[in-house]
């Protein structure tokens, strides 16, 4: 499923996160339709339709729908 988002005069279609799961030392992230989106190394803390939270060592990373770092803790 894609979410239509208006940014000023542009329209952006965003893929939403459907599921994140721990596979060994990797966190695998999939869309609502089950398509692979991205993976990151670390321990899965949790996810929403917009973000995935992964702990790696002493740092917690929050990633967006495109695998970009939104912020760290």
Q: What is d(CA 73, CA 32) in angstroms, rounded to the nearest whole number?
A: 27
Q: Per-residue pLDDT tens for 17-63?
A: 999 999 999 999 999 999 999 999 999 999 999 999 999 999 999 99
Residue 66: pLDDT band with limits 50, 70, 90: very high
Q: What is this structure's pTM?
A: 0.82
The pLDDT assigned to 11 comes to: 58
Element (H, E) at 25: none
Ordered by where they begin, the domains of the chain are 2-72 (2.40.10)
Q: Per DSSP, what are the bridge partners of residue 38?
A: 29
Rounded Cα distance between 20 and 65, Å, is 11
Rounded CA-CA distance 7/56 in Å is: 33
């Amino acid at each position: 499923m894609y979410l239509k988002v208006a940014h000023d005069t542009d329209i952006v279609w965003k893929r939403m996160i459907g599921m994140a799961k721990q596979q060994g030392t990797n966190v695998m992230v999939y869309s609502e339709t089950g398509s692979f989106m991205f993976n990151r190394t670390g321990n899965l803390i949790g996810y929403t339709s917009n973000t995935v939270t992964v702990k790696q060592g002493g740092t917690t990373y929050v990633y967006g729908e495109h695998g970009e770092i939104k912020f760290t803790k």
